Chain A
Amino acid sequence: MDAEKLGSLERIDRRWIFLILALVVGIAVIVEPVFPDRAGELVRPIFDHLDALPAGTPVLISLDYSPSSAPELEPMAAALTRHAMIRGLPICFISLWPTGNNMAERLESGVLREEYPAAEVGKDWVVLGYQAGGELLAHAVVDSLGARFRSDVRGVPLNELPALTTVTGLRDFGLVISLSAGVPGLKEWILYVGDAGHVPLAGGCTGVGAPQFFPYYPRQILGLMAALKGAAEYEAALSARYPDSVPATMQATRGMGPQAVAHLVIVLFIVMGNGALLWRRWRSGRTA
């Protein structure tokens, strides 16, 4: 191969990379390839824990993300919501972020009301919503939800919500899950609730944030869903266990098709660049 052409593979203009990536991912989005997945070592404990909870045990999901992280975290929230609905576990949604109320509203309209029309707000799920305070909010409700929440977002007092009749504080939930895109988020739940309050805790996070939570597994968190892959693994576990109760292909699994393709394109470019680099070195070693 011509040395100059080969050398250009080492210095591809980034606009070509953008264009090729956009084309390939765009085609994948249209074609919608589905790659079967299965729950890995970090996701399986969350699924198994939730699956083993007796019906009627409430779970708490903290929606600590904004719309910019919703593509990664909302599928996790949706999968957890479906799992809880199938198992008959009342869900309590709260948030440490101001955008949490919007995120809960999206889950209510997109999953709960659409797929579970028989489910009732207040009985099968509750949205306590956002309160200011960050990690101090999480800490304050360890012993008593009422310390910071007087009612749900509709204004119904806590003691009139059937979903929370067995709940005083966070320790009365079967599982607390934080879906976290930053600060305050999963780390604060670990520091102020999981460790200090001895509350069973699991987490979901964006891909970028995942490496910082691995040190906490498995002692402080029983499992971790990392990025869209984690959500897809949870969906895979859900589909495998309850194939008739969930949509055939869910959001994260659909999204992993284009993502897998993108990974392969990036790997290809890296291999190409290094291949050209090694070839050039070999050639210059030969001619020296």
Chain B
Amino acid sequence: MILLLITTVLLVALIVRSILLTRRGRLVNVRPLTPVEEMIPAIDSSVASGSPVLFVPGTRDLDSMQTVAGLSLLDQVARACAERGAELLVLVNRSLVMDEARERCRIAYASVGRGDDWNDDNVDYISDDPLGFVARVDGVIARRRPGACFFFGFFASESLLLAEGGHQVGAIQIAGTASAVQLPFFVAACDRTLMGEELFAAGASLSGDAALLGSLVGQDQGKWLVLILLLLGTALVTLSALGWAPAGEVWTVLSGLLPEG
């Protein structure tokens, strides 16, 4: 547990340090995420064809980090739709998420001076039952024929049902989830997919906010930390297996600091 605590503290320290450095003016060069770069053109394409933009922030409640990440992307999508005059439809399957999504969209529209264009009914609560939710979303896709479909958040088996529904109407589909088992379905059926940690980075990347981008730098530094620990552990176990006793002793001490299991 001690090793876990030290690692967590180091990780948080790296992230906070990066945020502070970027706030003080240090330039950040973040690799562009292709799915994120294609979101605005997808919205433009919907505007050109007179079709709405569909957004689904996952099928979990507000206590899921994936839903929070999805909603942070909704901020940006709503702002872009407001600027371009695109109709935004947000379909949710949790009441709390509905409330939060409405507030975010209201604020996003107001921030670009289009507060009067927003209608709370554009965020529709459907059903807590995931399959019932999917049936309705597919029905909306089939009838309203959105030009762009965005699926960001946690999805279970409904991922392929949603993605195929969007493909059927020829919508540009961009998805993102941290559920590793659903990634193959989105990769196969959507035009672009944010995979795993990219979902959490996307909101920061799209906003362009320096502090948020700084947090991504800290996250990458944390990844280096994890990589170093992995290589260290692998080296110690390998050397110990090859008969070098000091490596075994160091490994025994370190593994005693790990959580049980």
Contact = CB atoms under 8 A, between A and B. Distances in A.
A and B touch in the complex (CB under 8 A): yes
Nearest to B168: A14
A110 to B, nearest CB: 24
A208 B261 contact: no
Given A68-B131, A182-B156, A196 B261 contact: yes
A220 B180 CA distance: 20
A209 B168 CA distance: 26
B260 A212 contact: no
B225 interface: no
B180 A211 contact: yes
A195 interface: yes
Contacts of B131: 68
B226 interface: no
Interface in A199-258: 208-209, 211-212, 220
A196 B259 CA distance: 9
Given A68-B131, A182-B156, A209 B261 contact: no
Contact of B261 (A68, A182, A211, A220): A220
Given A68-B131, A182-B156, A209 B181 contact: yes
Tell me what chain B mostly uses at the interface: helix, strand, loop, or mixed: loop
Interface string A156-175: 00000000000000000000
B165 to A, nearest CB: 12
B259 to A, nearest CB: 9
Contacts of B180: 211-212
B79 to A, nearest CB: 32
Interface string B181-199: 1100000000000000000
Tell me what chain A mostly uses at the interface: helix, strand, loop, or mixed: helix
Nearest to B164: A14
Interface string A87-118: 00000000000000000000000000000000
Interface in B128-179: 131, 156-157, 168
B260 A195 contact: yes
Contacts of A196: 260-261
Contacts of A208: 157, 181-182
Nearest to A190: B261
Given A68-B131, A182-B156, A212 B261 contact: no
A196 B260 CA distance: 6
Contacts of A211: 180-181
A220 B261 CA distance: 8
B156 A195 contact: no
Interface of B: 131, 156-157, 168, 180-182, 260-261
Given A68-B157, A196-B261, A212-B180, 14 more contacts: A14-B168, A68-B131, A182-B156, A195-B260, A195-B261, A196-B260, A208-B157, A208-B181, A208-B182, A209-B181, A211-B180, A211-B181, A212-B181, A220-B261
17 contacts: A14-B168, A68-B131, A68-B157, A182-B156, A195-B260, A195-B261, A196-B260, A196-B261, A208-B157, A208-B181, A208-B182, A209-B181, A211-B180, A211-B181, A212-B180, A212-B181, A220-B261
- Listed from nearest, the 5 A-B pairs whose CB atoms lie closest are A195-B261, A212-B181, A208-B181, A209-B181, A182-B156
